Amino acid sequence: MGLVIRAASSEDRNRFSTYLNYLESICDYIYDEYGDSDNGDSDNLGSVIVKSAKTFKLSSDLDHTKLEKWLKLSWNNEYLLYVNCEGKDEEVLRFTNPWIPVLTYYSIYSCLVAFCYSYDKSTPKTHGGTLRKVTSLLVDKGIPPWNLAYQGPPGRKDQDHIPVNFPNDIDWKNLPSNL
């Protein structure tokens, strides 16, 4: 049985280029807004994030075993990611590489659930609920670049997906899209 490699469809290539464009735009925004983080400026991205994060108030009377559970899950996934990638030969990497995105995702997800719990002692029931809650908290607290977000259901109709905290001088309805 041979290895079958499927060529990416044009739809897949468009989605991937959309994602790369998104990441590049975030990098450009951060550099334009905060400049070089190595310049020692007190208004660099790191110091702005720290200043904004200080406005979070942790919930009182947390169940430390619940918080510890989510943080240990995050740590464990990150550890497995490190162990699976470090110093392996090509034959081993061929089998472990497919798990790298999964381990990365669950490390971040578990950390975000711990963050939600430490904020108001609740844990969202779904992955999407966790993402919505964390996004809402980061937008409300103004932590860059996560303070730039979209609100409302996804869609291409007018006002379905409204930008929040983006510059007002952009004509949002007439932006090119490769979706």
Structure tokens at 89: 């030969």
Q: Residue 85: what residue type?
A: C
Mean pLDDT computed over 140-150:
80
Note the pLDDT of residue 41: 58
Read out DSSP for 155-177? Answer: -SSTTSSEEES--TTS-GGG---
100 and 78 share one domain: yes
Note the pLDDT of residue 53: 81
Q: Write out the residue range of the structural domain in which residue 117 sits.
A: 61-122
Q: What is the pLDDT of residues 23-44, one digit of tens each?
A: 888 888 888 888 765 555 567 8
* Neighbouring C-alpha atoms within 13 Å toward the C-beta of 98: 3
102 and 128 share one domain: no
Note the pLDDT of residue 157: 63
Domain count, the chain: 2
118 and 136 share one domain: no
Residues in the chain: 179
Radius of gyration of the chain (CA): 20
116 and 130 share one domain: no
Top-confidence residue, 113 or 13: 113
Share of the chain above pLDDT 70, in %: 83
State pTM to two decimals: 0.69
Cβ neighbours for 139, distance < 8 A, ≥ 6 positions apart: 146, 147, 149, 164, 165
Top-confidence residue, 152 or 50: 50
Note the pLDDT of residue 171: 74
Element (H, E) at 151: strand 149-151
106 and 154 share one domain: no
Is 34 among the domain residues? Answer: no
Q: Answer yes or no: is pLDDT of 93 > 80.
A: no
Is 152 among the domain residues? Answer: yes
97 and 72 share one domain: yes
67 and 103 share one domain: yes
Note the pLDDT of residue 2: 47
Structure tokens at 100: 């790298």
Q: Is residue 69 very low, low, confident or very high in pLDDT (cuts 50, 70, 90)?
A: very high
Mean pLDDT computed over 91-103:
82
Mean pLDDT computed over 146-165:
71
Are 157 and 172 within 8 A, CB to CB? no
106 and 137 share one domain: no
Are 110 and 74 within 8 A, CB to CB? yes
Mean pLDDT computed over 104-114:
94
